[in-house]
Amino acid sequence: MSHPGGGLPGALVPFHWRWFFKKYAVLLRAGEPLRRVFGEAAIRLALLGAVQAGWLADEALTPGWRHAPFRGPLFILGHQRSGTTFLHRLLAHDQRLLGLRLHEQLLPATSLQRALAAVAAADARLGGALTARVHATEERLFGPLDDIHRLRFGEVEEDEFVLWGLFASIMAANDTPRAAASAALDGLRDFASWPTRAQDEALGYYRAVLQKAAWRATPSGAAPPWMLAKNPAFTQKIAALRRVFPEARCVLVHRDPLEAIPSRLSLVRAIWRRRVPGFTEMSVVQVETIVRDSLRTYHAALHAASTISGDELVVVAYPALRKDPAGEVARALSRLGLGAPDPALARALGALPAAGASGHRYGLEDFGLTREGLAARLGDAAAPPPDPVTGPSSPRT
């Protein structure tokens, strides 16, 4: 059962005001429309107000969460566009594992979750009009991005949204072209450069969110769940995660960076094209911002695979995961001490269609990059990291 290396937060949510003000100052100086800047800032403040009110209510009404045990977490790590979402959504079928749904990340307080459940139950008795409206809103906001990454409030999602709520996430620095072009936000992008206290404060809050979810989901006297967490951005946070979650286990998915990096750039470009009127192509500065972050991710993955023992981390190769997901899932769970897939996960694995060739093609040249130049910057991190047990010559790579 987990015990934090950092501390659990008190009654106040550790919101990163410094980055909040800096981000919107950057957008204003860059000429972003005032209505858009202040509208977005107002939404973030309203969300923070709700989260803070719920957090204070939890302190008064449900203090027992501080003693709630859980196991793990089981972290799914790796560079973006490397199969981490596919693996996360597969493992979420396993009834022993508990992942956070998006609404639990945005409104994590137990008091707020109970209020949402009460409203949903009342709405169901009255015919479900409110629920239908929420679903319609989800389709309007998120539906156009379904072919890129499906997002829904009631489905498990990558845990970076917890830190996004604190304004402690790289998503807050790279969500628009103008923000991504600003060097003033580089500190927000590079978690390793933060003081240890700031790292532990953010991850201590994240631990509290997991603990509240485990407390809500665990009947009295029942065994605590294994928490399931997927977050490519956490790949750069492995050292800090191991301080705060000393019993964590990690699955590191590796995809050839010369494929994954242009795929990520293509994803960012597609999102910006759909969200930002008039945006067409990424600038040299914007490409470099994303590439630098990708390089940090691959170097962090190599370091983790070289320093973490085999019962704490297993490396899964992206081609092997696509070819034999059932075999790779069973191997990873067994290696990490979780045994065989449970019946629900086994059914999900059995129902998977045969892997087909991807219709997407991503060219480094589309972003002004070359294979030789990117490989030189990657260095040793260009090759698959060594598995702590099977080593660098694993046939799965």
Is 288 part of a structural domain of the chain? Answer: yes
Is the pLDDT assigned to residue 211 strictly greater than 90?
yes
Smallest Cα–Cα separation from 54: which of 3, 111, 117?
111
Q: Which residues contact 93 (CB under 8 A, 6 or more apart)?
A: 344, 345, 347, 348
Place of tokens 């100052």: 25
CA distances from 49 to 62, 119, 166 (A): 19, 20, 12
d(CA 189, CA 313): 25
- Domain containing 360 — which CATH number? 3.40.50.300
Q: Are 258 and 383 in contact (CB under 8 A)?
A: no
Higher pLDDT, 363 or 54: 54
- Identify the pLDDT of residue 389: 81
Q: Which amino acid is at 230?
A: K
Instruction: State the pLDDT at residue 4.
Output: 52
Q: How far is CA 256 from CA 262, 298, 350, 384, in A?
A: 11, 10, 27, 7
In this structure, is residue 139 part of a structural domain?
A: no
- With cut-offs at 50, 70 and 90, classify the pLDDT of residue 2: very low
pLDDT beyond 60 at 154: yes
* Residue 141 lies inside a defined structural domain of this protein: no
pLDDT category of residue 387 using cuts at 50, 70 and 90: confident
- pLDDT, tens digit, 9 for 90 and up, residues 300-358: 999 998 889 888 999 999 999 999 999 999 999 999 999 999 999 999 999 998 765 55
Asked, for residue 12, whether it belongs to a domain, the answer is: no
The phi-psi region of residue 14 (left if phi > 0; otherwise alpha if psi is between -120 and 50; otherwise beta) is beta
The answer to the question of residue 193 being in a domain is yes
Which residue segment(s) compose the domain that 87 sits in? Answer: 17-120+156-382
pLDDT of residue 6: 58
Q: Is the dihedral of CA 278, 257, 368, 377 positive or negative?
A: positive
Residue 204 belongs to a domain: yes
pLDDT in tens, 163-182: 999 999 999 999 999 999 99
Beta bridge partners of 317: 254
Query: Total structural domains in the chain?
Result: 1
- Residue 233: burial class (beta carbons within 10 Å; 0-12, 13-18, 19+): buried
162 assigned to some structural domain? yes
Spatial CB neighbours of 362, under 8 Å, sequence gap ≥ 6: 259, 262, 263, 265, 266
pLDDT category at 275 given cuts 50, 70, 90 is confident
Q: What is the largest CA-CA distance in the chain?
A: 62
Tell whether 2 is covered by a domain.
no
